[in-house]
Amino acid sequence: MPSNYLYTDLSAYYDLMCADINYHAQSNGVHRLHQLFGNEGNTHLDLACGTGPHVRHFIDFGYQCSGLDINQPMLEQAKARCPEAQFSLGDMCDFQVDEPLDLITCFLYSIHYSGDIEKLKQCIASAHRALKPGGVFCFNSVDKDKIDNRLFERHTVTQGDSLFTFSSAWHYSGEGEKQGLKLNISKTTDGLTQSWDDEHPMVAVSFDELTALLKPWFDVHILEHDYEKITPWDMSSGNAIFVCVKQEAQ
């Protein structure tokens, strides 16, 4: 099964799959971080923007927004949601912008879609090139060494006469630079259930390794994974927000 099977063929269900996500809180949290750490500019790019819900909030905050994603059906929905923004089909590990930006975001652990360490390095370098001095690259990440393969997230949503159940789980073998994001969607209509399974290959990285990759390019601040508070990472939790302020390469 192709690695982006669900996102391509079932992209119309993507917003349902993410119905439990507080996009406003996430967007507002990063907006506050940008005010604290950034250069006071308002140009913004959202990597792996999906259907554009974060972009919508940043537009409402007063940013000039753009979005990048590898999935054209997602981008069509993003364009309908955010006609003021510019959207591009492309790879977040190798992108260029026409004019330097003030803020680049990458939500929902999408930084891990880089796939492997070399591609992750390319993503970091691309973000650095695309930012103005003092610009901010902000994303969330999971530490490979703290993944519990037994844990999963699940929620249900009703649309029309159908009940959807969505579940997702990280899986890491305990070694190497590969981890997986396991996904399942089931749809029950009139007693008949259809189910789709997928596993997305993701890059596995510890926070120490990630910090080492970022530091040649950025001043790195690691915060607790709470978009409503601004709290330094406790150095033990397995999820964190990275706020990376551009410095000139040495």
CB contact set of 23 (below 8 Å; sequence gap of 6+): 53, 54, 56, 57
pLDDT category at 10 given cuts 50, 70, 90 is low
Q: Please report the pLDDT score of residue 8 as a whole number.
A: 46
Q: Token digits for 221?
A: 């601040």
Angle at CA 220, nearest 5°, toward 217 and 224?
Answer: 150
Higher pLDDT, 194 or 119: 119
Q: What is the pLDDT of residues 189-200, one digit of tens each?
A: 999 999 988 888
Higher pLDDT, 249 or 188: 188
pLDDT category at 9 given cuts 50, 70, 90 is low
Q: What is the pLDDT of residues 55-90, one digit of tens each?
A: 999 999 999 999 999 999 999 999 999 999 999 999
Fold topology of 145-202:
S-adenosyl-L-methionine-dependent methyltransferases (2.20.130)
Average pLDDT of the residues in 35-59 = 97
CATH number of 11-143+204-246: 3.40.50.150
Fold matches, 11-143+204-246 and 145-202: no
Q: What is the pLDDT of residues 232-242, one digit of tens each?
A: 999 999 999 99
Higher pLDDT, 18 or 67: 67
The domain spans of the chain are 11-143+204-246, 145-202
Q: Token digits for 189?
A: 């209509």
- CA separation for the pair 71, 61 (Å, rounded): 26
Please state whether the predicted TM-score (pTM) of the whole model is above 0.75: yes
Q: Please report the pLDDT score of residue 5 as a whole number.
A: 45
Higher pLDDT, 72 or 14: 72
Q: Please report the pLDDT score of residue 189 as a whole number.
A: 95
- CA separation for the pair 220, 218 (Å, rounded): 6
- Answer whether residue 248 shows pLDDT above 90: no
Q: What is the mean pLDDT of the chain?
A: 93
Q: What is the pLDDT of residues 62-71, one digit of tens each?
A: 999 999 999 9
Average pLDDT of the residues in 98-113 = 98
DSSP line for the chain: --TTHHHHHTGGGHHHHTTT--HHHHHHHHHHHHHHHS-S--EEEEET-TTSHHHHHHHHTT-EEEEEES-HHHHHHHHHH-TTSEEEE--TTS---SS-EEEEEE-TTGGGGG-SHHHHHHHHHHHHHHEEEEEEEEEEEE-GGG--TT--EEEEEEETTEEEEEEEEEEE-SSSSEEEEEEEEEEEETTEEEEEEEEEEEE---HHHHHHHHTTTEEEEEEES-TTS--B--SS-SEEEEEEEE----
